[in-house]
Structure 1
Amino acid sequence: MAGGIFRQDNPYNTVMSRIGDIAMLSVAWFVCSIPVVTLGVSTAAACEVAREMQEDRDNGIFRGFWRALKRRFGTGMLLSLVLGVLIALGAFDLWWISRSMSGDNASILYGVTLAVFIIVAMLFAFVLPLSGRSKLSAWEQIKQSAKLAMMKPFVAIAIVALNILPVLLLATVPSAVAWVPLVWCIFAGGGTAWVDMLMIRRAFALE
């Protein structure tokens, strides 16, 4: 029994190894996201590495991340730009409504705008997670994501919720700025990519 503890494939070592891999993936994702403009391609690379980990095909987290980051970098940046513009427009609309309007009409307009923003985010939910292996153009990837979101809306909303969670925490929790970046750097960044890909692979039976 004692010998089993030191076996490479015993459950404890397997779990701890996976936690370590996710932690390394989180660090890679966080560092490459610091320029902000690379947040999209960094997220796509993290999802691709997470998928390789789940398929037991990874040959080093940092090496795999760098390889995934460079693959179709231009298309990834274009997708990131489109997503960034949509997020900026949605955030500006919500800010403008909250600052310049009041009363029931403002509440209704705010709610409608938020609902539209969430629906659009759902339609784009699968763009970055699946872009790592895609050979489609940016526009074709967006159309593919929209089709998949209509097929699996609950998966799409779960992915959106996971990915905006740090933003929501920073916006609503006064002390979040002191711990959210650290948590996402150490574990939650890679963990989010891991859960995203696990849900997608199970929903669409991806191998």
Structure 2
Amino acid sequence: MNWTDNVVMRALSRVCDFILLNILWMICSIPLFTIGASTTALYTVMLKIVKNEEGYIVKGFFRAFKDNFKKGTIIWLIMSGIGIVLGFDVRLVSGMEPPIRTVFQGIFTILGFIWVCAVIYVFPLTARYENTIKNTLKNALLLSVAKLPYTILMVVVTAGPVILTLLNTRTLLIGITLWLVAGVSLVAWVNSFMLHKVFGIFHTNEN
């Protein structure tokens, strides 16, 4: 097998890994309240993949899912609860008269951005480090500010495809297909490259 064939085979193998991880993530997220544990498991594997340290994909995913089930679920319930409250407040504010509406919309836009940033960091942190839920949430917020350029890039990588998917009926159909095949795992993969650099701030505490 020549060099070109080897590269092609490795690329195809990696694509298969992403599709498999995407399927595992979706299946384990079906009850909805398990999305946190499922996302944590996905990042556990992805953070190893970007360092070329992955082992058995399926075994690694389910081990991480089991090990982080309680913590991941609690964090997900906390973050989703905050998200629901923010969403309700935004709807409430939309019925106000300007300029009060404009002021509150600005406030909730900032709070919503902070919430998205925290969600992006909190599950990878859970996947990578042993810590209390309180400290994990605190570190997610601190990293959002301390590594703002990476944070903005990850927000774009995470939210951008979602926005594009919702543009119109055509993009919705294409987007849903891509999300079902490998969309979630691809977003996690791209983010994991940046997270690997971001987590350098904790290098002295790495396991």
**TM-score (normalised: structure 2):** 0.85
Instruction: Determine the structure 2 residue equivalent to 1:192.
Output: 187
Aligned-partner SS, 1:145: helix
Worse-matched range after superposition: 168-177 or 47-56: 168-177
Which residue pairs with 2:136 in the alignment? 141
1:96-107 residue pairs with structure 2 within 5 A? Answer: 96-98=92-94, 100-107=95-102
Tell me: CA distance 1:143–1:193, structure 2 relative to 1, closer, same or farther (3 Å).
same
Alpha-carbon distance, 1:185 to partner: 1.9
Q: Does 2:46 match 1:50?
A: yes
Does the Cα contact within 8 Å between 1:122 and 1:153 map onto a contact in 2? no
Letter in 2 for 1:139: K
Displacement of 1:75 in angstroms is: 1.0
Correspondent of 1:156 among 147, 151, 154: 151
- Other-structure match for 1:68: 64
**What is the Cα deviation at residue 160 of structure 1?**
3.3
Partner SS state of residue 132, structure 1 = helix
Alignment-derived partner of residue 29 in structure 2: 33
Q: Distance in 2 between matches of 1:121 and 1:33?
A: 19
Task: Report the Cα distance in structure 2 between the residues aligned to 1:180 and 1:156, rounded to whole angstroms.
Answer: 24
- Structure 2, unaligned runs of 5 or more: none
The amino acid that maps onto 1:25 is L
Percentage of identical aligned residues:
25
Q: 1:111 offset after TM fit, Å?
A: 2.3
| 2:25–2:39 Cα contact (<8 Å) kept | yes
Compared with structure 1, are the counterparts of its residues 25 and 76 closer, same or farther at alpha carbon in structure 2 (3 Å cutoff)? same
Please give the root-mean-square deviation of Cα atoms over the aligned residues, in Å.
2.4
Structure 1 residues 165 and 71: CA distance shift in structure 2, 3 A: farther
Shift of residue 176, structure 1, vs aligned partner = 5.0
Q: Deviations over 1:75-120 (max 9, x none)?
A: 111111111111111111112222x224343233212211122124
Which structure's relative contact order is higher, taking Cα pairs within 8 Å and 6+ residues apart? 1
- Post-superposition offset of 1:172: 4.7
Report how many residues are paired: 202
TM-superposed CA distance for 1:159, in Å, is 2.7
Q: Return the alpha-carbon distance in structure 2 between the equivalents of residues 136 and 84 of structure 1.
A: 20
Instruction: Tell me which amino acid in the other structure corresponds to 1:4.
Output: N
Q: Provide the TM-score with structure 1 as the length reference.
A: 0.85
Note the C-alpha offset of 1:11.
1.9
Name the SS of the counterpart of 1:126 in structure 2: helix
Partner of 2:78: 82
Task: Quote the Cα distance in structure 1 between the aligned partners of 2:158 and 2:176.
Answer: 13
What residue number does 2:103 align with? 108
Which residue among 84, 88, 93 is the counterpart of 2:89?
93
Please say if residues 38 and 77 of structure 1, whose CA atoms lie closer than 8 Å, have aligned partners that are also in contact: yes
The structural deviation recorded for 1:174 is 4.0
Distance 2:160 2:67 in 1: 27
Contact between 1:49 and 1:65, CA under 8 Å: does it hold in 2? yes
Distance of 1:51 and 1:143 partners within structure 2: 21
TM-fit CA distance, 1:197: 1.1
